[in-house]
Amino acid sequence: MANDIFATLRTYLSKVTDGATSANEVAASVNQWVREGGEALKIKIEDEVERSVSKMGFVKRGEFEALKEEVARLKVTSTAKTSTRKSAPPKTSQSKSTSVKKSPIQKKTAKKVSK
C-alpha cells in the first residue's frame, strides 16, 4: 500500500513538473483519492468489526432495539388475547359429569360446650 501512495505521488509530481497539470488540480486529485481511500478503509474496518462482534455473540444496538419493540408488541397482543379469554363465559359440557371424591377417612372433632 505504501508503494501505491508513493507511485501515485510520483505520477502527480511528474505531471506538475511537465506542466501537464497545475498544483491545484493535483491537490484536488490527491484530496479525492484520499477521500475514496478513507471511505474504502472505513468500510473494511466496519466489516471486520461486525464479523468479530458477531463471533463474540453481540448484536447491534439497532437490532436489539427492534427485538425489544417486537417483544413488547407481542406482550401487548398476548395480554389482549388473555383478557378476552377471561371475559368470555366458560364453555360447559353436559356430557361430562364431575364427581367429588370424599375422603375415605373423616375425622370427627368434638366441641366442648361450656355452661
Per-residue pLDDT tens digits for 2-17: 567 788 778 877 877 7
Higher pLDDT, 12 or 55: 55
pLDDT digits 0-9 by tens, 31-49? 888 899 899 999 999 999 9
Tell me the pLDDT of the chain averaged across its residues.
77
Model pTM?
0.41
Higher pLDDT, 104 or 12: 12
Under the banding of pLDDT at 50, 70 and 90, the label for residue 115 is: low
- Rounded CA separation 52/64 (Å): 17
- Rounded CA separation 94/98 (Å): 10
